Structures are given as structure tokens and as C-alpha cells.
Amino acid sequence: MHPSLSSMLRPALFAATLPLLALTWQPALGASECKGLAQDLCTTKEQCRWMQGYTRKDGVQVSSHCRLSKPRKTEAPETQATAPVDTKPETKSN
């Protein structure tokens, strides 16, 4: 009795699929320390911010959640506005 072709291919296909699943199924490296926090704890952490729930254009409801804040750029010092300089020479009036 010879094994059927499908019964021989099934284990080979399964073995070939496992490495692909391992590559795509891994959680993101460097998961956020803010992910999954409740609102009260999220707002106490400086690196986290609370996102209010909203509805996307396609109608999908996004629930409120905590996320990692974007790094804030340091603000450039404000430059003082100077009065425009008059470059015309003064004329004497008599």
C-alpha cells in the first residue's frame, strides 16, 4: 500500500509554513511601557499620553487608550522683534 501524495505533502507544507508564521507572529520589539495602562496611571507618566476614543472615517470605533508620547522638540528661544531701521539719510528742513 502506497501513501497518497496529499498525505506526504501535508507534513512538508506544515513544516515549510512554521518559519513564516514565526517571522510574522512575533510581537513588536520594544513594546511601549504605556500600552494597556488605565487613564489615571497613564496621565501620571510623563512619557505617556491618554488618547480619547473616536470614530474613524470608515466607521470603526477606536476606544480610549494610553500611548507613548512623541518626543517634544525643544522650543527655539523667541527672538525679539526689532523696530525697522530707517536707511534714508535725514534731511534738514529750514
Give pLDDT tens digits for 42-60: 999 999 999 999 999 999 9
Q: Is residue 49 part of a domain?
A: yes
Range of 38's domain? 34-54+63-70
| Distances, alpha carbon 19 to alpha carbons 14, 25, 29, in Å | 10, 10, 18
Q: Are 55 and 61 in contact (CB under 8 A)?
A: yes
Q: Is residue 93 part of a domain?
A: no
User: Residue 59: left if φ>0, alpha if ψ -120 to 50, beta else—which one?
Assistant: left
Q: Are 42 and 52 in contact (CB under 8 A)?
A: no
Distance CA 68, CA 30 (A): 12
Q: Is residue 80 part of a domain?
A: no
Residue type, 71: P
Ranges under pLDDT 70 in the chain = 1-3, 5, 18, 20-30, 72-94
As for how many domains the chain has, the answer is 1
Residue type, 52: Q
Q: Is residue 45 part of a domain?
A: yes
pTM greater than 0.75 = no
